[in-house]
Structure 1
C-alpha cells in the first residue's frame, strides 16, 4: 500500500473509537477538563503540543497523558512497551517516566504516523530513548518474544480494540513479576456492559477484561472509568503476578 493510501488520523480515530454521541453531562465534563488543563497541564511544551494537536481526534487529552505518566512513574520503569503510537502524545508522556538511560519501544502499523511520532518525540527531547517500530503489532510481538526481547516494566495497549485479547497475551509474555499493563478505551461510552453487542471493538474489550479476571498470570486488575471533553471511557490497569 502506498503511503498516501494510509488512513488519516481522523480516519484512524473512527476506526479505533467508532462514532459516539454526546453523553448527558458532557458539557460539564468538558468544563471540568478545561479547568484541570488550565490549572495543571504544562504550557509551552512544543513537543507535547505538536503531538496533542495531531492526536486530538482520538480523545487523547493532557489530563490522560499526565495520568499515564504518573502511573508509569510509580513503577520507575527502565523499559516501556507501547502498542499503538499514533502521533506520539502518550509516547512522550510515558518516556518522561523512564529511569535515566531507559528505553521505550512503540509499535505502529502506519509509517506516516510513525514518522510524525518520531519527529514529535525528538522535539520533546526523547529522540534517544524512544524507538518506534513500524509494522502490524501482531507481526512484531511474536518476533520480540522469539528474539529474547528483555521484559518490560510498563506496557500500554492502545491500538485496534478487536485484537486486545491477542495484545494482552503477548504483553504477558513480555512481562516480569510486577509489570504494569494499561489498556486504554475499554469502557466505550458504557457499551462494554452489553454481552450481546455485535460491535467488534466492544467484543474485544469485553474479552480483554474477562482475561484480566481469569488469567493466573495477573495478580490484580481493575478498570477506572473516565469522563471528560471526549466522553465516557476508561483504563484497564493490571499488575503481573
Structure 2
C-alpha cells in the first residue's frame, strides 16, 4: 500500500520503527517508549480511513507520529486533514519533528493536551484512531461515538494484547446499538466500530 509513499516519509517511519524496537528491548520506561503500532496496523488504519465518509479525521494518542503519518497519507489522498491529540510534552516534540521532516504538516493539526478536554467541541467525525492509555479508552469512546457521522469509523488499538484491561469497553462497543463492531486480528488487535 502507498507504493508512491514519499522517501522522506519512508525514512522517518524506518527511523521510528528502529527507536520503537530498541525501546522495547532495552528496558526504556513505559511512558518514555514510543509504543507505536506495527507497520501492518498502520497500513490497515490508512486503508480504513480512505473508506471513511466525508467528515473529520482524528487520532487520540500521537506518540512520535508514526500512525499519524499513515493517516496523513490517506487524508492527503482524500483532500482532508487529521487532528491528532498528544498529552506528553516529549512526544509532542518528537511528533512535531516527524511532521516537519516528512512534509506532511499541511494535513496534520497536532493538539497538545488531553483529547477528552478538546473533543467536546468537535463534531462530524468520520474517522477516529484511538491508541492512548488504556484507562481512557472508555471515556474517549463515549465522547467520540455521539460525534460521529453515519458510516464513520472508530478504530481502537490493542484490543487483543490488552484485552483484559479493555474487556468492559470492548463488550460495551460490541453490544452498542449505535455501531456495528468487531475485533480484527491485525497487529495487536483492532476494535473496529462503524456508526449506524
TM value normalised by structure 2: 0.81
Relative to 1, partners in 2 of residues 1:43 and 1:130: Cα closer, same or farther, differing over 3 Å?
closer
Deviations 1:122-166 (A, max 9, x none): 222211110111112222223x2xxxx331211000001112111
5+ long unaligned stretches in structure 2: 25-34
Q: CA deviation at 1:76?
A: 6.0
Question: 2:185 is paired with a residue of what secondary structure?
Answer: strand
CA distance, structure 2, for counterparts of residue 170 and residue 207 of structure 1: 16
Q: Distance in 1 between matches of 2:48 and 2:11?
A: 23
* Contact 1:83 1:107 (8 Å CA) reproduced: yes
Aligned pair count reads: 180
* Alpha-carbon offset, residue 78 of structure 1: 5.0
Out of 152, 155, 167, the position equivalent to 1:206 is 167
For the 8 Å contact 1:51–1:117, the answer to whether it is kept is no
One of 3, 8, 15 as aligned partner of 1:50: 15
Gaps spanning 5+ residues in structure 1: where?
1-39, 193-201, 228-232
Between structure 1 and structure 2, the one with the greater Rg is 1
Equivalent residue number for residue 30 of structure 2: none
Query: 3-state DSSP class of the match of 2:118?
Result: helix
- Residue 91 of structure 1: which of 68, 78, 81 is its match? 68
Equivalent pair of 1:46/1:123 in contact (CA under 8 Å): no
The residue that corresponds to 2:190 in the other structure is: 235
Structure-2 change in CA distance of 1:97 and 1:163 (3 Å): same
Cα RMSD for the two superposed structures: 2.5
Paired with 1:55 and 1:76, the residues of 2 have a C-alpha distance of 32
